[in-house]
Amino acid sequence: MTFELNPTAASLLGFLHDGPMSGWDLVVRAEERIGEFWSLTQSQVYRELARMAQEGLVEAGEPGTRARKVYAISDEGRDAFVEWVRRPPGNENIRFPLLLTLAFGQHVPDPMLASFISRHRIIHHDRLANYERQRAEMPSDYEDVDPYAVATLEFGITYERAVLQWFDQLPRRLTDLRDE
């Protein structure tokens, strides 16, 4: 009976397969690679690393400058990770505050709602541009590209396109900014 990992901790172990890293390194890498569909905070990363070190899933190297500790995955960590990653994944969980506000839109003046919507549309537009840039920058020679990273990036692109499409078919009344 191996240690029970949560998805956040497990992801850290996943990244540590590429070599030892500090908490900060992991935060940055997680943001790049899974931030699109798995949010985590810097503070969680440090906590999970500390816990996993206690359990022997990772090993901390000697503190360097700024008390920087570099963590390496252990054999126990590899075992726990493989066990985790081969379990049937749970259902997805979306929390989209804009839609909550919209669902109760009758309590919000329409122009205010329109301004909320327009701000979020920009965010999604920018994210899509970012993902598309990433895809464009990938080596066209598919030998060098991790097919799993491609698949998740494709998800981001498909998702953001759909969201924009949804924005663009909202009734004019909900997107008209005249008074705000």
Residues binding a copy of itself (CB under 8 A): 7, 10-11, 14, 17, 33-34, 36-39, 81-82, 85-86, 88-109, 112, 116, 119-120, 123, 146-149, 151-152, 154-155, 158-159, 161-163, 165-166, 169-171, 173-174
Stretch in the footprint of DNA (CB under 7 A) among 4-12, 100-108, 130-138, 157-165: 4-12
User: Is 85 near DNA (CB under 7 A)?
Assistant: no
| Tokens at 86, concatenated | 């081969």
The answer to whether 52 and 13 are in contact (CB under 8 A) is: yes
Q: Which lies closer to DNA via its Cβ, residue 92 or residue 141?
A: 92
d(CA 104, CA 95): 15
User: Is 29 near DNA (CB under 7 A)?
Assistant: no
DSSP assignment of 98-135 equals HHHHHHTGGGS-HHHHHHHHHHHHHHHHHHHHHHHHHH
User: Is 47 near DNA (CB under 7 A)?
Assistant: yes
User: Is 158 near DNA (CB under 7 A)?
Assistant: no
Q: Which residues contact 46 (CB under 8 A, 6 or more apart)?
A: 23
CB of 166 to DNA, least distance (A): 23
The answer to whether 173 and 110 are in contact (CB under 8 A) is: yes
Stretch in the footprint of DNA (CB under 7 A) among 67-75, 117-125, 147-155, 164-172: 67-75
| Tokens at 121, concatenated | 């549309």
d(CA 180, CA 119): 12
Q: Which of 134, 164, 122, 180 is nearest to 36 (CA)?
A: 134
Q: Which lies closer to a copy of itself via its Cβ, residue 72 or residue 145?
A: 145
Phi, psi of 68 (to 5 degrees): -65, 125
Which of 34, 40, 80, 117: binder of DNA (CB under 7 A)? 40
Which of 13, 16, 23, 121: binder of DNA (CB under 7 A)? 23
Q: Which residues bind DNA (CB under 7 A)?
A: 6-8, 22-25, 39-44, 46-47, 49-50, 63, 65-69, 93, 95
